[in-house]
Structure 1
Amino acid sequence: MSQNTLESWTDGSAKQAILDFVTARLEQPLPPQFDFVFRTWAEEAKADPSLAARQPYKAVLGQDREFFKGVAAQDPQVLATLLEAFTHSWAGTTPQEFDAQVRAWMTTVKHPTLGVPYTGLVYRPMLELFDFLHANRFRVFVCSGDGRDFMRVFAEETWGIPKENVIGSAAAYTYSDGRLLRSGELLGSLDLGAGKPEHIYAHTGRLPVLAGGNADVDIEMLAAARFALLVDHDDEQREFAYTAGAETSMAKAAQLGWAVVSMKNDWTTVF
């Protein structure tokens, strides 16, 4: 918010009430993948009206704020609904076909509030941390509750992290007649909560040395690491200020001595 906000108003209860209400409207943003899939589901529901009564199509068409809060907070029940629709939408596609759709979205779609492509909303301090870790012989992985195959394209294109170092909730694949095709089934469990250290170990054969997170669904992964880093989204001027879905993790950080990163105070540059 500008330092000159309501500069002709004297400080007082009326001005503060307005500021509190307006800044409270800055809600927790959705992960980029959901912009990609919500556009697809809206088109599918228009083509097949029978879908409109089912979640998540109903929420997408009706702009259901409560449902979206569950998405932003990575509520396991909500995400299970999303992944069911996700596997339905892309069942039978090849990895190459799916990758091409993600790349097309990355080059054409802009963030609805910030007005820039999602590829321009990468946190510079995190890229610098990746470089620092690489320089000190760490291997860097992404462990996301979002769909693994979307994150593989996004991470490789924007963060320079290769696909094989991306862990996440994923559809199973079948191989037939020389083609690898996405099935309609989920591969294993959701990559949330305890699923994160489970998936990390299954993928790498190790638990993390250093782990970074920003939400309650990251608690188990952070607890499994030797060094835990929790990012606090507290910068309402340069990004968004929100705590939904991170209240328990902040309490855990204080209890267990995790390092907490204030975006507002610890990062001189965000994007």
Structure 2
Amino acid sequence: MHCFFAELEPSIDVTEQNLADRVRYIMRSKIFDDAELERLRRQGIPSSNESTMAGDAAPHSTDKHPHVKAAMNLPVVVDSNDDEIVSHELKQMRSILEEAILETRSTPLENRPRLPRIPLSKRNRAVVRALNPMLVTYLEASRDLCETDSILFAAAVAVSRIFGAKLPMAGRATTQSNAIPAWRKRIEDRIAKARALIGRLTSFRSGNNRPRIMRTVRMAFAGTNISLSQPDITQKLTERIDDLKQKIAAWGEADSMIFRGSRRFN
């Protein structure tokens, strides 16, 4: 729409976003009725008969769109500062783009992979500039906004594949949403270790003096002045066990609070 507007009104300097905002305002505010909009549309856009007389109006017409014709003339040097993109690379890029478009059309929206960050470089810019003219044919044949979004996402996937970036498999987004959050896993690990330590301390209090139990008990009282041979060691063990149980209860409450907050946020 912006390119077409620039051809109609070359003296008016307007950005793509500004133009889109003005069109949305006109459509929502009902400044013009349907008849007036249709009249303006006929004035701005040539009729189908004129387009037919001018030539083939199919999306694959290269005379109507010089960008497509430029993409077909090989080799192409995108920028004087960029590396040259030779003919076999352009053919391979077009093949990757077509494959990505077919895959994206058959992939549900929630199963699309997360796109990685692409570093900026002269070579990467050259690849993107070479792919842009190839999209003209697909975008003009697009029937609605969903298909346009699918084409643009497929182009981003194609760019990532050309650069060699790793993309997750289809369905990874759904798998990630069902995975255990990192904060919950940390809390569960703390609770599991505390319960294991309580079991060892209880076993030692009952008279189990096996080397593994003794080693765990010494580690539990490391950094303190408590000795396993002192008379009130049983009381110290009970206090340590009660302290661990209180920590487990506190961690469990924290897990519930974070879960409730996360659910409210979602």
Say whether the fold is shared (TM-score over 0.5).
no
Q: Name the TM tier (shorter chain).
A: under 0.3
Asked which structure has the greater CA Rg, the reply is 2
Q: Could you say which structure has the higher helix fraction?
A: 2
Identify which of structures 1 and 2 has the higher relative contact order when contacts are C-alpha pairs closer than 8 Å and 6+ apart: 1
